[in-house]
Chains A and B, each alone.
Chain A
Amino acid sequence: MSSVISAQDLNLTFQTNDGPVHALSDVQLEIGKGDFVSFIGPSGCGKTTFLRCVAALETPTSGTLTVNGMSPDEARRQRAYGYVFQHAGLYPWRTIGANIRLPLEIMGYAKSEMADRVQRVLKMVDLEGFEKKYPWQLSGGMQQRASIARALAFDADILLMDEPFGALDEIVRDHLNQQLLELWAKTGKTIAFVTHSIPEAVYLSTKIVVMSPRPGRITDIIESPLPKERPLDIRETPEFLSIANRVREGLRAGHSYD
């Protein structure tokens, strides 16, 4: 299987006033087509930085990183990925429909095509009928779903998600996790997903990347043996718990409590 995202010996050092910060250290990672990869680790472990490198929002100091076989910046210019930020970041002066239309307007889609796509992705995230509402009229979970719809509106095969459900409560998060899995099964996209939550990472992923800080590095990569079909109560099964345990061990090993 060919890699969609491939990182070799990736290093990134930020120069700050307190000296250099080693945000990524010798990162090796292959993400295959259709994978659902979660990045988990404490703050400062470089999981978001890695995602931003893939998106060409940060430039690695050394090493090679390819996205669809190209440099990240070329991939960005070809609109190879959709990015979902931690905050929905919908434009308050645009309706939900117009927010989803934003990338399409920028990419120069035809008007009728835009309308079709907006309808299609609204249906995908269960927001039919909210097209004419403004963001402030929606709950936080609905806003985040709208922002996912915005990332799905154009045909990027890669979805980069940076703690998209981090600010939502447990119940809403469960619901959105389920929806996300359905969406992934339906679209076959490659998803890179940053999270703080062990259950979320185990529940969603085919591959779990455990990271640790100072310097930001990968300490464990776990291929999940769980089936693609995952009802919520899979979280009670021994397989699930044993993976969760391995993730927890990995996090603990990489964590210094000073």
Chain B
Amino acid sequence: MRNLLPILTVLVALMLIWQLAVAPMNIRGALDIAERGGAEIVPEGSVDRRSVSVWRLMAQNSDHVSMGYDLDRPRLPTPTQVGQELWKTTGAMAIKGRAWSKRSLIYHSWITLQSTLWGFFLGTSLGIIGAVAIVYSRTAQLSLMPWAIISQTIPIVALAPMIIVVSSQVGVEGRGLPKAIISAYLCFFPVLVSMVKGLRAPEISQLDLLKTYDASGLQSFLKLRLPASLPFLFTSLKVGIAAALVGTIVGELPTGAISGLGARILIGDQFGTPLAIWSALFAAAILAGLLVTLLDLVQRVALRHTGAPT
């Protein structure tokens, strides 16, 4: 728990910056509403105000700055507003027994989580199998590695709709599988690269030692290469699961999906409800945090079991 203090310090600093940024971000919206309500604003008319900097607007209309903290459709919501929205769409709904309603972020998070886990499973498996192939076969190294690198230079937003189209063309029902594929596409790479490094971590002398025992290839894989790669694997899994989540959300964005956190972000954008975007964003961040923390725990248990100094 000794790293709690630095984390909290950063959190407080971020909240402070956020809170302070709300005033300049929302001043124009606040002044428009105040003017419609009959208040005296300098200069008059929202068109004229466009050429005036937010700082001058704030200085000249200091009475109305606080209004920016209480808008229905703020350009930048306050932390409190986001927190309230998040609670309204998760905890509050769960208490009322409506956790699985289409308006609940718990429901949408669950949709996203499912695809993320499938994508993570698929991507991790591909990454590990690819790494084993690369380490054991020079042909695989020469043919697979460049393509793995090239694959990551293609923007996933461009690729995602194609994957959706192709998978519906070949008769795949629903969006679960294509989303998982997009997510796996992002997640396999860190696993592949780390596992190649991990499987090659044993020194020559350690491999020689096994040779003096006349160990088979499978034995040296199971007893040396695999355990030696574990620390690399866990590090890459944590990167991989975050990438898988991003992949799923990206997969939900341009594809007309109606459920999932990505869909909530898109809908919030289209309907001009920043609060929905922000709460979906935070739900995604919390989800990622939970997944990474879970993997961290698994890593600790696994590495303690294999004798790492505590």
Q: Which of B112-120, B124-132, B186-194, B201-209 contacts A (4 or more CB under 8 A)?
A: B201-209
Question: In the complex the two chains form, what is the Cα distance from A76 to B209 in whole Å?
Answer: 11
Total of A-B residue pairs, C-beta within 8 Å? 56
Does B56 lie at the interface of the complex (its beta carbon under 8 Å from any beta carbon of A)? no
The chain A residue sitting closest to B209, CB to CB, is: A89
**Contact at A82–B227, with CB atoms within 8 Å?**
no
Which residues of chain B have C-beta atoms less than 8 A from A82's C-beta? 212
A151 to chain B, nearest CB (A): 9
- In the bound assembly, the distance between CA atoms of A242 and B306 in angstroms comes to 51
Contact of B205 among A76, A79, A87 (CB under 8 A): A87
Check B224 for interface membership: any CB of A closer than 8 A. yes
CB of A34 within 8 Å of the partner chain: no
Residues of A within 8 A of B230 (CB): 93
A71-83 near B? 1/0 per residue, CB < 8 Å = 0000011010111
A94 at the interface (CB under 8 A from B): yes
- A79 and B307 form a contact (CB under 8 A): no
Q: Which residues of A contact B213 (CB under 8 A)?
A: 79, 102-103, 106-107
Q: How far is the CA of A255 from the CA of B210 in the complex (A)?
A: 35
Query: A57 contacts the other chain (Cβ, under 8 Å)?
Result: yes
Interface residues in B211-234 (C-beta closer than 8 Å to A):
211-215, 219, 223-224, 227-228, 230
B309 at the A interface (CB under 8 A): yes
CA–CA, A107 to B307, complex, Å? 24
User: Interface of chain A, helix or strand or loop or mixed?
Assistant: loop
Known contacts A95-B307, A134-B307, A89 near B212 by CB under 8 Å: no
Chain B interface extent, by class: 20 to 34
Which A residues lie within 8 Å of B227 (CB)?
91, 93
Q: Residues of B contacting A85 with CB < 8 Å?
A: 205, 208-209
Render A52-65 as a binary contact track against B, CB cut-off 8 A, 1 for contact: 00011100000000
A136 near B309: Cβ-Cβ < 8 Å: yes
A20 contacts chain B at the CB level, 8 A cutoff: no
- A-chain residues with CB within 8 Å of residue B307 when the two chains form the complex: 92-95, 134, 136
Knowing A91-B224, A134-B307 touch, does A57 contact B212 (C-beta < 8 A)? yes
How far apart are the CA atoms of A56 and B213 in the complex, in Å? 11
Does the CB pair B211–A89 fall under 8 Å?
A: no
Interface status of A155 (Cβ within 8 A of chain B): no
Residues of B within 8 A of A95 (CB): 307
A89 engages B214 (CB within 8 Å): no
Q: Are A106 and B205 in contact (CB under 8 A)?
A: no
Return chain B residues, CB-CB under 8 Å to A126: none
Add 6 more A-B contacts to A76-B212, A95-B307, A106-B214 (CB < 8 A): A57-B208, A85-B208, A103-B213, A106-B219, A107-B213, A134-B309
B residues bordering A, Cβ < 8 Å?
Answer: 203, 205-206, 208-215, 219, 223-224, 227-228, 230, 306-309
CB-defined A-B contacts under 8 Å, sample of 18: A55-B212, A76-B211, A76-B212, A76-B214, A79-B213, A83-B209, A83-B212, A85-B205, A85-B209, A89-B203, A89-B205, A89-B209, A93-B228, A94-B306, A106-B214, A106-B215, A106-B223, A107-B213
